[in-house]
Amino acid sequence: MQPVRPLLKAIGAFPRSAVFTIGAFVLLGLLAPYIAPHDPNAQDLLIAGQGPTLAHPFGVDHLGRDTLSRLIVAARTSLVGVCLVLVCAHAIGIAIGTIAGYRRGWTDELLMRIVDVGQAIPSLIVSLAVIGIAGVSYWNMILALALAWWPGSARISRAVAVNTMNKPHMEALRVLGASPVRIYFVHLLPTTIGAVLVYATADAGAVALAIATLSFLGLGIQPPTPEWGQMLVDALPYLESDPRQVILPGLTLTLAVIGFNILGEAVALNRVPKPLTSRMLAARRRVTAFWAKEARP
């Protein structure tokens, strides 16, 4: 449970709007098959392109598939994809980062140079190159994105690992004769995983965007599996007659990503002091008003 605690603690301090949107996205993804009112892939060409009705509140697409159900099931596609990518990327990143931070010296130097190069190249081009060589498939997409995302994770893990190794209690452990295996697996790895989890959460939005972008380009999730980017590109030829089918998936995707971005901004701005809000000022002034009263008699 040790790695989870910092995440839970961090969630407590997250902006409420972020917690709400991310929570909605995750819940939707988990419960999608139970919430979706229709089979997302059931076609009914007779009603194709129809506007909202009671049975299909968001209308149907050009093949007569229920848009609401497809949007909901797409959340699951996205959530599963994001989780797989993050798990793979961070598995590679944490392994490399902690080894670099534990060993230091030339190992650290070499690994971090590789990470430098990896970080200098935009993630989309890395994933495109991998797919271009390995071919279009679901697992190739996951692999491609994981290969694009691990350097960031490695950098953070290394920083955390170096920090942890420099703490006095780690020195004490070493002096007491704890084996390297024990230090690495019992003390270093869990601490690093815990610290990286928060960053992973803030990064999930970018991964969700990348999955949607690859699917939009026809290189990610393939039809008929519903996915927001792929739904959008599917409906694009009908933009003029039925813009709803383009706007809805785009909007849903943006909403899902925005939660993660609010979180990222909150993490980035944590250290900068801000002027007090009027509510906080009032609260503080109630304290000083009490002092004045106390001092009078």
Partner 1 sequence: MSSEPILRVKDLTIDLLTAHTVVRPVDGVAYELSRRETLAIVGESGSGKTVTCFAPLGLMPVGVQADISGSILFDSRQLVGSDNETLRSLRGKSIGFIFQDPMSALNPARRVGRQIAEVAELHLGMTARAAETRALELIKMVGMSDPEIRLKQYPHELSGGLRQRVMIAIAIAAEPTLLVADEPTTALDVTVQAQILRLLKEIQSRMDMAMILITHDMGVVAGAADRVMVMYAGRHVETGPTERVLSQPQHPYTMGLIDAIPRKQDAIGSRFRGLPGIPPILGAPITGCAFMARCGYAVDACGERRPPFLPTAVPGVSAACPVLNIRAKECA
Partner 2 sequence: MFAFIAKRARNAVLLLFLASVLCFALVVSAPGNVAILIAELRTPTATKADIAKVEEELGLNKPLLERYGFWLNGAIHGDFGISYKTGEAVGASLKSRLAVTATLVAGGAVVAFLLSLFVGFVGALWAHRAPDVVTRGSALLGASTPSFFVGALLVYAFSVTWHVFPTFGFAGPVSWVLPWLTLGFLPAAVLSRVVRVGFEEAMAKPYVLTAMSKGLSRTSILVRDAIPNIAPTYLNALGTQIGTMVVGAVVVEPLFAWQGIGDLFLTGVRFRDFMVVQACLLVFITFFIILNVVVDICITLTDPRLRLQRS
Q: Give the one residue of 274, 279, 293, 296 binding partner 1; rule: CB under 8 A.
A: 274
Q: How far apart are CA 185 and CA 104, in angstroms?
A: 17
Query: Quick one: 20 or 290, whose CB is closer to partner 1?
Result: 290
B/e letters for 80-112, b = 16+ CB within 10 Å, e = fewer, are ebbebbbebbbebbbebbbbbbbeeeeebeebb
Position 287 contacts partner 1 (CB under 8 A) = yes
Q: Give the one residue of 279, 291, 293, 296 binding partner 1; rule: CB under 8 A.
A: 291
User: Taking contact as CB under 8 A, which single stretch among the options 70-78, 134-142, 226-234, 275-283 is the one that binds partner 1?
Assistant: 275-283
Query: Quick one: 91 or 124, whose CB is closer to partner 2?
Result: 124
Query: Quick one: 15 or 237, whose CB is closer to partner 1?
Result: 15
110's CB contacts (< 8 A; 6+ apart) are none
Q: How far apart are CA 173 and CA 193, in angstroms?
A: 20
Query: Quick one: 139 or 291, whose CB is closer to partner 1?
Result: 291
Position 13 contacts partner 1 (CB under 8 A) = no
Q: Could you check whether the bond before residue 180 is cis, i.e. omega within 30 degrees of 0?
A: no
84's CB contacts (< 8 A; 6+ apart) are 142, 146
CB of 272 to partner 2, least distance (A): 5
Interface contacts to partner 2, rule CB under 8 A = 117, 120-122, 124-125, 128-129, 131-136, 205, 209, 212-213, 216-219, 229, 232-233, 236, 239-240, 243, 246-247, 250, 253-254, 257-258, 261-262, 265, 268-269, 272-275
> What angle (nearest 5°) sits at the alpha carbon of residue 147, between those of residues 144 and 149?
110
CB of 181 to partner 2, least distance (A): 34
CB of 22 to partner 1, least distance (A): 25
Position 281 contacts partner 1 (CB under 8 A) = yes
Residue 76 · residue 133 · CB < 8 Å: no
Query: Quick one: 101 or 229, whose CB is closer to partner 2?
Result: 229
Q: How far apart are CA 145 and CA 149, in angstroms?
A: 6
Residue positions counted in the chain? 297
What residue ranges bind partner 1 (CB under 8 A)?
A: 273-276, 280-281, 284-285, 287-288, 291, 294-295
